C-alpha cells in the first residue's frame, strides 16, 4: 500500500556541519516520526518557496539530549545550504 505524502516540517533555519550535512529547525515530534515510521533512506521532497521541488533521501535522524520529544532531520551532499531556503517544506513521500 503506497504511503500518503506527509509534511514533516517547514524549515525555519538551516545549519551546515563541517562534514557537509544539513540540519534544520524546527524538529519533528516523536509522535509524528513514529506514526510515519520515519527512517534513514526515506524518500523526501523539498518543496521550496519558489515552487520548485528537489527529491532527496533522509540521510540521518538526529537525537538530542534533552530530546524535548522531538528528532531532527539531516540531509547530505550534493545539497548545500542555499538549496534549502527558509520556508521550504520537507515532505516524506512514498
Residue with cell 545549519: 15
Which domains, from first to last, does the chain contain? 6-92 (2.40.30.10)
pTM of structure: 0.92
H or E stretch at 60: strand 60-63
pLDDT of residue 4: 84
User: pLDDT, tens digit, for every residue of 42-94?
Assistant: 999 999 999 999 999 999 999 988 878 999 999 998 899 999 999 999 999 98
CB atoms within 10 A of CB 29: 15
Q: Is 40 exposed, middle or buried (0-12, 13-18, 19+ CB in 10 A)?
A: exposed
Cα 26 from Cα 83, distance rounded (Å)? 17
Whether residue 24 contacts residue 13, with contact meaning beta carbons closer than 8 Å, is answered with yes
Amino acid at each position: 500500500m503506497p504511503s500518503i505524502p506527509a509534511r514533516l516540517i517547514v524549515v525555519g533555519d538551516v545549519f551546515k556541519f563541517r562534514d557537509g550535512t544539513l540540519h534544520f529547525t524546527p524538529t519533528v515530534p516523536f509522535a509524528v516520526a513514529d506514526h510515519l515510521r520515519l527512517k534513514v533512506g526515506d524518500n523526501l521532497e523539498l518543496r521550496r518557496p519558489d515552487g520548485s521541488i528537489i527529491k532527496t533521501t533522509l540521510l540521518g535522524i538526529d537525537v538530542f539530549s534533552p530530546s524535548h520529544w522531538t528528532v531532527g532531520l539531516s540531509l547530505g551532499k550534493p545539497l548545500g545550504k542555499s538549496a534549502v531556503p527558509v520556508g521550504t517544506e520537507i515532505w516524506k513521500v512514498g
